[in-house]
Amino acid sequence: MKIDILTLFPEMFEEVFSSSIIKRAREKGLVEISCHNFREDSLDPHKKVDDTPYGGGCGMVLMCQPIFDCVRKLKKENSKVILLTPDGEPLHQKKVIDLSKESHLILICGHYEGFDERIRTLCDMELSIGDYVLTGGEFPAMVVVDAVIRLLPGVIRQESFENDSFYDGSLDYPNYTKPRVFEGMEVPSVLLSGDHKKIEEYRKEEAEKKTKMRRSDLLKEGQDGDILLQED
């Protein structure tokens, strides 16, 4: 997969993309990530990328020209252009799975008051990472990149992310590691039983219980009154 990120602050990505699983995925050649400062594409003699909003109001608005030119330079037939914006479609694991099957993502990070509305016409998709407003699209872009990369073949074990929260619509089951007893708190005995069938049943039950308690919005009622995952 190739990922291009349009940002005025490419330095923000350096540490994140040179650490941990993203670093290893890049080293193994499973993903190629490039950051592009679209200020370099500005045709303005002072490399200006923003201006005051028509109609008045506070803040500066990102202009069309640098972003249009930068995207057009990078875009290929199979590219998906994604705008990070608080009024975009909320990012969910299902969307992340879909994105992990793409071969080329172009992410546009807004900043300041936002961007000229006409920039939306360049995009195949608009994504929000939650109902709150950040200073810029850099953290949202990192969130998208991290969530997508861990699903790429060869990055982490498939069974590992298939058991994660949201993959099948439910939350993850509880995990424990050594020691067996910590400050009086014991590991559930079924996990020490070596009975894999029982362990699987226990984990399924616990995941369902937790989902029902914490995120009942992920569940729906079946025809016979059973509680089902939205996926079913």
Ligand X SMILES: C[S@@+](CC[C@H](N)C(=O)[O-])C[C@H]1O[C@@H](n2cnc3c(N)ncnc32)[C@H](O)[C@@H]1O
Binding site for ligand X (CB under 6 A): 84-87, 109-111, 113-115, 128-130, 132-137, 140
Select the residue whose beta carbon is closest to ligand X and give its number: 110
Q: Which of 91/207 has CB closer to ligand X?
A: 91
CB of 13 to ligand X, least distance (A): 14
Residue 137 in tokens: 């699209």
Q: Which of 96/155 has CB closer to ligand X?
A: 96
Neighbours of 56 (CB within 10 A): 6
The residues, any chain, with a CB within 8 Å of residue 224's CB and separated by 6 or more, are: none
CB of 27 to ligand X, least distance (A): 28
Residue 51 in tokens: 């201006």
Q: Which of 29/57 has CB closer to ligand X?
A: 57
CB of 68 to ligand X, least distance (A): 16
CB of 41 to ligand X, least distance (A): 17
Q: Hey, which residues are catalytic here?
A: 86, 113, 150, 164
* 51 HSE (CA, 13 A, CB side): 13
Q: Which of 106/207 has CB closer to ligand X?
A: 106
